[in-house]
Amino acid sequence: MKTLMASFALTLSALSAGTCLAQTAAARPAPSDASAYPVAPAPGLYQAFGEQQGLRTLMDDFVKRLKADARIGDQFRDTNADALAQSLTLQLCQLSGGPCTYKGADMKTAHRNMDITKAHFNALVEVLQVAMDKRGIPFRAQNKLLAVLAPMHREVVND
């Protein structure tokens, strides 16, 4: 039920973020490799996740769970867990309003030729939610982060 509620909240957040962005186009952040569809982070989001160290701890756990997940783990089997966690940390740090700069590939390039379906994307979101729950991140902060990440599905899902 929580996953269904979070998915619904994620969809609503993405829709409202798109509406909000259209109304405040001059105030939105510039597109970057971190996200082709930038959404301004909620104030305090970076701090809610424990800043860079908290994000790194979350990403270490998240990547470990991704690799073990029966639905999508095979896609991460040969992935360097430390490098992925570091890249995700920098990306989330930037997207959550922190001082980091993500220098990795843009999302479309990074996921090209990976045959990622909507089901894969949803499974990844569910794994992220579990990792955030295990870290005790409040549901409201989780939804704020997911709202920032939701527009990426347009660049990541390619099958």
For the cut 70, the answer to whether the pLDDT of residue 21 exceeds it is no
User: Domain span at residue 113?
Assistant: 45-156
Instruction: Please report whether residue 8 resides in a domain.
Output: no
Identify the pLDDT of residue 89: 96
Once rounded to an integer, what is the mean pLDDT over residues 54-76?
96
Task: State mean pLDDT over 41-68.
Answer: 95
Given a contact cutoff of 8 angstroms between Cβ atoms, the answer to whether 131 and 58 are in contact is yes
- Bigger pLDDT: 155 vs 92: 92
Q: Residue 31, Cβ neighbours under 10 Å: how many?
A: 11
Q: Is residue 59 assigned to a domain? A: yes
Kindly state whether residue 143 falls inside one of the protein's structural domains.
yes
Inside any domain, residue 30: no
In a domain, 101, yes or no: yes
71 or 34: which leads in pLDDT:
71
- Any idea what the CATH number is for the domain that residue 75 is in? 1.10.490.10
* Residue 36, in any domain of the structure: no
Instruction: Evaluate whether 157 touches 116 at the Cβ level (below 8 Å).
Output: yes
What does the pLDDT average to over 126-151? 94
**Which carries the bigger pLDDT value, residue 39 or residue 60?**
60
Task: Tell me the pTM.
Answer: 0.76
CA distance 133 to 148: 18
pLDDT higher at 127 or 158: 127
Asked if pLDDT for residue 131 goes beyond 70, the answer is yes
Torsion of CA 38, 44, 49, 53, to 10 degrees: 90
Q: How many domains does the chain have?
A: 1
| Distance from C-alpha of 146 to C-alpha of 82, rounded to nearest angstrom | 22
In a domain, 120, yes or no: yes
- Residues of the chain above pLDDT 90, percent: 50
Position 32 scores a pLDDT of: 55
Residue 32 within any structural domain of the chain: no
